[in-house]
A and B are shown apart, each in its own frame.
Chain A
Amino acid sequence: MILPPVPPAFYLVLSGILFTIGVIGALTRRNAIVVFMCIELMLNSVNLSFITFSRFLQSIEGVLFAFFIIAVAAAEAAVGLAIFVMLYRSKETINVDEVNLLKW
């Protein structure tokens, strides 16, 4: 059985849903690593959009952008995890709702 091709709009909707899930996760999860993973999810949903557009528009730029996003996300992850480690050393926790020394 051969499935009919998936229309590009579906990918975009999926990308939108993933982005929304990412946003909601980033807003609600307590653990900083999970929050960061949700942000990664947002970035990856953007990648999905880019690749869909790229294929749909027959233009290479979108794919290139996706590669750059992957590279940047990797760099961010490296820096971010290092910051989490530092935070854990000084506070013994990486729960985002316990980090509020600076306020008002």
Chain B
Amino acid sequence: MFDIVWLVPLFPAIGFILNGLFGRALGKKAVSWIGPSAIGLAFLTSILIFFELLKKPPSERFFERIIFDWVVSGSFHTVIGYQIDPLSILMALVVTGVSFFIHIYSVGYMHEDPGYIRYFAYLNLFVFMMLNLVLANNFLLMFVGWEGVGLCSYLLIGFWFEKDSASNAGKKAFVVNRVGDFGFLLGMFLLFTSLGKHGIWTLDFTEVFANANKLDTVTVTAITILLFIGACGKSAQIPLYVWLPDAMEGPTPVSSLIHAATMVTAGVYMVARCNVLYSMAPLSMAIVAVIGVATAIFTASIGFCQNDIKKVLAYSTISQLGYMFLGVGVGAYSAGIFHLMTHAFFKGLLFLGAGSVMHALSGELDMRKMGALRKKIPITFWTFFIATLAIAGIPGLSGFFSKDEILWQAFSSPHGHFVLWLVAAVAAGMTAFYMFRAVFLTFFGESRVDPHVAHHIHESPRIMTIPLIILAILSVIGGYVGVPHVLGGANHIHEFLAPVVGGSEPGKSHAALSFVAQAWASGGENGGHSAALELLMMVISVVIALIGIGFAYLFYIKNPTLPKLLAERWKGLYRLVYNKYYVDEIYQVLFVNSLKKLGVGLWRGFDDFVIDGTVNGIAILIGWISSVMRRVQTGLVQNYAFSMIVGGLILLVYYLLRTIFY
């Protein structure tokens, strides 16, 4: 049964080939069927595998399917292979499941777009790459997937490439991600060579993790930090988060799928996958946790003052990703993955809801031009509202369980700290505030909709609302796989993931994991803290969330003039936050402009071209050298012969000198 794992990525690949190569010939109708059904089949296969996996005892929930030998070079040997274990199958389920609903939604949303066929081709390719990323059994194949999803993201952000802002956003995402990927690549090489010193030339997960204990702490710390730089790029963490808000230039379902539910969580998945390495490097874990929590609160505050509904959601995504990193950073890998899953549901839903609002309002994104849409587009409103409750951490919904798990672990785990908890809890309150702000501005209050647009506001077609409803259901019930023990739950997800990431049943899976198990035994579960304390903290975090909601209500329903007043009172602060702390501008000055000046110094005429950062600057410099160098090629035979003679003479002189001085 597990042998069919290769079918999971195969279906999207077939979909990509059919849509990409023959889409035009097949026609729009066929593409609308092929695209979603390819993902649907992959989803079904994943479900089958999942249930098959459940039948096995937890310690045997591991299966590797080697497709073929890939790289054989000396003693180094890597295969293309897929690996099934609780972590990868859970990811595969989330990826294929959410993708499936978003594909269906896209059929309705993109229907009028001239690039319809191209869109589905890219989307299928994306799912294929994402599945390679999560199912890979070695770092190399994972990296292929990692690069592949980056490429698809670039293609889809710049999907409407006629728009300058879209193609610029695509470029920005590409460049920032390259910075991260460079870190990932270096980390991988360092891992490879330092294991090689012990005679183990491998990049396979099982072998790497089984031999990880041979490495010294400094090396592991360096490796894990480098890998985390990669995660920062892909998962938009400080300081590399700047590309994600711009990425909203892409079609909304893309933002939902790639830039909220799946691709951006790849970094979290990677850290969880490498938990053996991270657990060996306390410093790296601390960095992950601190960066995570800092990102969570920093970007949540930016979310306060954004008026573009998709931008709010984008900053919220970054902030939630920060939570996930906080979770994995304090060693609560299963909590991080749990939040990843619930977040995929409710954030995917929020974006789709935003898309539905845009659909109703002929593409309007500015929340100042919305309002009172509650009655006009009820399904969108209710689903959006449920997702908002979930993300705000209202008890009973999925977000509550996963977020609370992270908060509790941030405090109680041996890697945790009270400050981490406090910051994260405050950020949770801020999340509740800006999300309810978005809901109130969009759906409540007075209608500020443009009169031209107002008379044809309509609910989206059923093909779009059904995915909304399904995701809303998932956003509610998705949390019940991880109800904490203190609330009388069983925390299934925690136990399910335990064989991979350590936890309540340690030591039964890979031998190498016993290390983690020890760490967990010392304080994983409730280690040293009482259930009462856990409950108390839960209540505090709920109260903070309610306060956030209350403020939002006060500001945007009760007294809508208040925000303006406050903004004028603390003009400086407001401007600072409104302009996203000027991070983009600071980057512009620090990196882009200084390079620009360098460029001007080197060659004046380039001034106008060196706008878009490092890559362009270097590219133009090389382009200039290139155009100078091609002039050497005069087209005259004798010049060519002369260059040969000069080359020969240089070689002769070299040999002569070598003979004399050697």
Contact = CB atoms under 8 A, between A and B. Distances in A.
Interface of A: 23, 26-28, 35, 96-97, 99-104
A97 B641 CA distance: 13
B634 A23 contact: no
B633 interface: yes
Contact of B635 (A23, A27, A28, A104): A104
Nearest to B627: A104
A27 B638 contact: yes
Give the size category of B's interface with A: 10 to 19
B198 interface: no
Contacts of A96: 636-638
A25 B637 CA distance: 13
Contacts, number: 31
B645 interface: yes
A24 B193 CA distance: 53
B642 interface: yes
Interface of B: 630-631, 633-638, 641-642, 645
Nearest to A29: B638
Q: When A and B form their complex, which 4 residue pairs have the shortest distance between CB atoms, in order from nearest? A: A103-B635, A100-B635, A104-B630, A96-B637
Nearest to A32: B637
Contacts of A27: 638, 641-642, 645
A101 B637 contact: no
B244 to A, nearest CB: 43
Contact of B636 (A23, A28, A97): A97
Contacts of B630: 104
29 contacts: A23-B645, A26-B638, A26-B641, A27-B638, A27-B641, A27-B642, A27-B645, A28-B638, A35-B637, A35-B638, A96-B636, A96-B637, A96-B638, A97-B636, A97-B638, A99-B635, A99-B636, A99-B637, A100-B634, A100-B635, A100-B636, A101-B635, A102-B635, A103-B633, A103-B635, A103-B636, A104-B630, A104-B631, A104-B633
A103 B633 CA distance: 6
A102 B635 CA distance: 6
Given A27-B638, A35-B638, A99-B636, 5 more contacts: A23-B645, A27-B641, A27-B645, A100-B634, A104-B635
B118 to A, nearest CB: 36
Nearest to A104: B630
Contacts of B636: 96-97, 99-100, 103
Contacts of A99: 635-637
User: Most chain-A CB neighbours within 10 Å: which of B630, B633, B634, B638?
Assistant: B638
A96 B630 CA distance: 20
Nearest to A100: B635
A57 B630 CA distance: 48
Nearest to B631: A104
A10 to B, nearest CB: 23
Contacts of B637: 35, 96, 99
B224 to A, nearest CB: 50
A23 B642 CA distance: 9
A104 B638 CA distance: 15
Contacts of A28: 638
A100 B636 CA distance: 6
Contacts of B631: 104
Contacts of B635: 99-104
Nearest to A101: B635
Contacts of A23: 645
A98 B636 CA distance: 8
Contacts of A26: 638, 641
Contacts of A102: 635
Contacts of B634: 100, 103
B360 to A, nearest CB: 56
A1 to B, nearest CB: 41
B57 to A, nearest CB: 70
Contacts of B638: 26-28, 35, 96-97
A93 to B, nearest CB: 13
A27 B341 CA distance: 73
A101 B633 CA distance: 12
A27 B645 CA distance: 9
A87 B635 CA distance: 15
A35 B637 CA distance: 10
Nearest to A97: B636
Nearest to A26: B641
A99 B638 CA distance: 11
A99 B639 CA distance: 12
User: Most chain-B CB neighbours within 10 Å: which of A35, A102, A104?
Assistant: A104
A43 to B, nearest CB: 15
B346 to A, nearest CB: 58
B171 to A, nearest CB: 29
A102 B630 CA distance: 12
A103 B642 CA distance: 16
A93 B318 CA distance: 70
A96 B638 CA distance: 8
B268 to A, nearest CB: 51
B438 to A, nearest CB: 57
A2 to B, nearest CB: 40
B648 to A, nearest CB: 10
A78 B638 CA distance: 21
Nearest to A30: B638
A48 to B, nearest CB: 20
A83 B505 CA distance: 82
Contacts of B633: 103-104
A99 B634 CA distance: 10
A68 B123 CA distance: 64
A104 B627 CA distance: 9
Contacts of A103: 633-636
Nearest to A98: B636
B198 to A, nearest CB: 53
A96 B634 CA distance: 12
